[in-house]
Amino acid sequence: MTELRREPVTRMWVVVTTDHPRGPADYLPFKPPYQPQKAVGPCPFCPGNEGMTPEETLSVPGEGGKWSVRVIPNKFPFFHIEGEFDRRPEGMYDLMEAIGAHEIVVEAPEHEQNFAVMEHRQIERVLLAYRERLIDLEKDRRFQQFLILKNYPGVFLRHPHSHLMAMPVIPKRIDEEIWGTLDYYERKERCIFCDIIKEEMGEKRRVIMETVHFLVFSPFASRYPFEAWIIPKSHSPDFHRIREEEMEDLSIALQSLSSRFYKLLSDPPYSYAFHTSPIQSRFHRAEYHWHIEARLRIGLREGFEWGTGFFVNPTPPERAAAYLREVG
C-alpha cells in the first residue's frame, strides 16, 4: 500500500510506501557509491595550517592553550559581508546583492572526526561557538535569517566542519514553516510544534529517544528515509537563546542520533539543518519553535521530487524510528 501523508506545518504531501518497506539493509551499499575523498594537499583546517585560512572570528580554547573549535570566514562564501544592501528590479525579476555572513565552524582539531564518535562535551563546545557567533551577528541589522548547516562528510573537505550563515532574506522552507505556524496559531492559539511534541510523546511509535529537554523523533510525514528531528520540549523561537541547562542535553541528543545513524547504516553521509526564527523585531516570530532537521543522504529520488514536488519515502517513519531506537 501507499499512503499520502500531510506534513502538518508546511502542509506538504509525502508519499510513504508501506508495502515492501525498505529497511537499513536495502540502502547498503550506498548509491551513489559513498567514498570518502582523499585529501588533496595539506588540510587548511588542521592545527598548524591556520595561516591558510582567513583570520578567525572565534576560537574556543581547549587543553594546553590549543584551540578546540575554530570559526573562520568562508573563503568561498555564498554571502559577502561587505557591499551595498539594495534590492532592485531587473525587468519583472527581483535581484539583490548577496549580503550576509558565511562562516565555517571547524568542529575539532582532529582531521578524522565524527559526531557519532565524538565526546558530547566537544559537541557542546561547537554549540557554544554557534551561539556566540549568532549573538554577535544579530547586531547587524541587514540580516534577517540565520542558518546552520552541517554536511557529513564535507563536500570539499573531510575535516569536520559546519556552515554558519546570516542571510538578507528568509529561505523558502523557513518561510513555509512560519506561514504554517502562524496559520495554526490563529486558529487554535497554540504552537503547532508544541502540539506535535505532545502528540509524538503520547503516541511513542515515532520517538527515537528523549532527554530531559529534547525530543528526537521521526516526523509523521518524513520526506526522507530515516529523517529525524531534534526539538526542544519547551517553547522557544530562537536557537541562539538556548538556556545553559539545555546546552549539554542538546549535545547528548546530537551525539546519540549521529551514533545511531552510524551504527544502523555503517557511517552514512548525513546533513543537519538548524531551523530558527528570523531575527530583528520586524521579522522575528515568537510563535515559531526552533528545531534541528536531520536527513541521511541516501536513497534519493530527486528526479521525481523535482518533477512533481512530491517526496517519496520507501521507509515508513514508524519503522525508521524503531530501527533507530533499537540500535542505540
User: Where along the sequence are the contacts to Zn ion (CB under 5 A)?
Assistant: 43, 45-46, 111, 159, 191, 193-194, 235, 275, 289
Q: Which one, 8 or 21, has the nearer CB to Zn ion?
A: 8
Q: Which one, 190 or 204, has the nearer CB to Zn ion?
A: 190
Q: Which one, 99 or 164, has the nearer CB to Zn ion?
A: 164
Q: Is the CB of residue 183 less than 8 Å from the CB of residue 288?
A: no
Residue 2: count of CB within 10 angstroms of its CB: 10
Q: Which one, 99 or 116, has the nearer CB to Zn ion?
A: 116
Q: Minimum distance from CB of 68 to Zn ion (Å)?
A: 14
* 26: Cβ contacts below 8 Å, ≥ 6 apart: 299, 314
User: Which cell is 325 given?
Assistant: 531506537
- Residue 311 Ramachandran class (φ > 0 left, ψ -120 to 50 alpha, else beta): beta
Q: Which one, 80 or 111, has the nearer CB to Zn ion?
A: 111
Q: Minimum distance from CB of 253 to Zn ion (Å)?
A: 16
Q: Which one, 260 or 289, has the nearer CB to Zn ion?
A: 289
Q: Minimum distance from CB of 240 to Zn ion (Å)?
A: 16
Q: Which one, 45 or 262, has the nearer CB to Zn ion?
A: 45
Q: What are the E-state strand segments in the chain?
A: 2-6, 13-17, 58-61, 67-73, 87-90, 93-96, 101-106, 145-152, 161-167, 207-210, 214-217, 228-232, 270-275, 291-296, 311-313
Q: Minimum distance from CB of 259 to Zn ion (Å)?
A: 22
Q: Is the CB of residue 181 less than 8 Å from the CB of residue 287?
A: yes
Q: Minimum distance from CB of 159 to Zn ion (Å)?
A: 3
Residue 25, helix vs strand vs coil: helix
* 217: Cβ contacts below 8 Å, ≥ 6 apart: 200, 206, 207, 208, 228, 229, 231, 321
CA dist 49 and 70 (Å) reads: 12
Q: Minimum distance from CB of 82 to Zn ion (Å)?
A: 28
Separation of CA 205 from chain center: 23
* Dihedral in degrees, nearest 10, Cα atoms 218, 221, 223, 225: 40
Q: Minimum distance from CB of 246 to Zn ion (Å)?
A: 14
